[in-house]
A = this chain, B = another copy of it.
Amino acid sequence: MNDRIEVSSEPLPEHVDVSATTAGGVAVFLGCTRGETHPDGRQLVALDYEAYEEMALKQMHDLAAAARSKWPIERLAILHRVGRVGLGDPSVLIAVSTPHRSEAFEACRWLIDTLKKDVAIWKKEVWDDGGTSWVDPGEPGS
């Protein structure tokens, strides 16, 4: 149960090792800031993430426990960055190792989907004119 679960303003590591001699598959997901053009022509320059950190961490631990009850997870990491995240840079990293690959893909997918639905973290778009706007979660997008 040596899950690595963190919320931090530091840049995410490039790599989190969740390998195990009992794991045949490792699935990793990185959610990154994607460049965008606003309908009014402005360019996105970054996303600013804010967390209700104590709650977010608690939720991420609960997600890890729920995922472990659904899939035979060997090791697991859920890292989320807060603060400003530039274009192409990752804001979230999820890594899961399981005996077989299906389980790794399914658990990783479920973790990111559920994190995005429930975990107390918010992002604000930062535009090239200095304007900002909180992301409306009804919006499509990754």
Is A89 interfacial (CB 8 A cutoff)? yes
Q: Are B27 and A89 in contact (CB under 8 A)?
A: no
Q: Is the CB of B32 within 8 A of A19?
A: yes
> In the complex, are the beta carbons of A28 and B31 less than 8 A apart?
no
Question: Once bound together, how far apart are the Cα atoms of A90 and B87, in whole Å?
Answer: 29
Is A68 among interface residues, defined by CB-CB distance under 8 A? no
| Residues A141 and B88 in contact in the complex (CB < 8 Å), given A32-B25, A34-B23, A109-B105 | no
List residues of A whose CB falls within 8 A of some B CB.
14-15, 17, 19-35, 87-90, 97, 99-101, 104-105, 108-109, 112, 140-142
A sample of 6 cross-chain residue pairs with beta-carbon separation below 8 angstroms, ordered by A number, consists of: A19-B32, A19-B88, A21-B88, A24-B32, A99-B142, A105-B109
